[in-house]
Amino acid sequence: MASLVALVSAFLILQILSPVDALSTNYYDHTCPLFEATVTAAVKKAMTNDRTVPAALLRMHFHDCFIRGCDGSVLLNSTGGNTAEKDGPPNISLHAFYVIDQAKKAVEALCPGVVSCADILALAARDAVALSGGPTWNVPKGRLDGRTSKASDTRQLPAPTFNISQLQQSFSQRGLSMEDLVALSGGHTLGFAHCSSFQNRIHNFSPTTDVDPSLSPSFAANLRNVCPLGNTAKNAGSTLDSTTTTFDNVYFKMLLQGQSIFTSDQSLLTNPQTKALVSKYASSQQEFNKAFIQSMIKMSSLTGGQEIRLDCKVVR
């Protein structure tokens, strides 16, 4: 019975998260030709004041796409009768929503009621990568904004404690392959992790060892110093690689050196296929960039919205 429920659940997710044929790279060429430049300007301006913005936007887009597709539902505010996705446990640390709001305001001034919040977020994620030294690409556009946003749905997001089987299931339910899993995990080249998301690896790892033996001893010691047992410092944690504001392949190099942060990162080395891809991307920035672009376009083509919001925080 449990397997039947899981099968039905996976089928429903695939039904909701199906690629939309109407997406086009030139979707707004006639209706809002300055749309892309306007969003890029908003992201660039925010980055001058806060270097964590690119990581925040990339993570925001990922978390949006994994629940009902890339429909901007992560942007909606909670209401008196509903707790929205952005207030679900995995999303509490999401930030930089103001960047999307500012971009939307500027776009609305140019082209009222034309551009969806979902498209703005997808483009902002691309700009976050490109403006951090990573590759750029033409983003297919034409998404609609969703009207539903529930905190309870954030349980569908892949957790940092996932093993390779759990990761594969999560991605395959959304039509994403093992290649996509590894390439998109490379997005961890930007970002920061709070102690709570990796404390399972550095304290009480198992009944016989305190620290995950797959971690480099010196790296683990540094993490334990930053995040001692019973840590109460709210903002304590670690960057996800040593060049946290630059989009590069250092994440993969560190992974091979036993310097990964999440269990889910280390899990990529427990499967021959994903381990080979990690090695490939660690040795070639160009190969990683190419794979990342393909997987981002594939992931961001999953959508299921119904409207174009005038305010990204509120349904019409």
Q: Which positions are catalytic? A: 63
- End-to-end CA distance of the chain: give it in Å, rounded: 40
User: CB 267: neighbour CB atoms within 10 A?
Assistant: 22
Backbone angles phi, psi at 246, to 5 degrees: -120, 130
The tally of CA atoms less than 13 A away on the side-chain side of residue 55 is 22
Report how far residue 312's alpha carbon sits from residue 71's, in angstroms, rounded to the nearest whole number: 11
Pairing relationship of beta strands 302-303 and 18-19 according to DSSP bridges: antiparallel
Name the token pair of 282: 């660690």
Residue 96's closest CA among 133, 157, 41, 47?
47
Positive or negative, the CA dihedral 296, 297, 302, 308 is positive
The strand pairing partners of 239, in sequence order, are 192
Contact 304, 16 (CB under 8 A): yes
Residue 121's closest CA among 167, 80, 69?
69
Positive or negative, the CA dihedral 224, 225, 231, 236 is negative
User: CB 286: neighbour CB atoms within 10 A?
Assistant: 10
**222: CB partners within 8 A, 6+ apart:** none
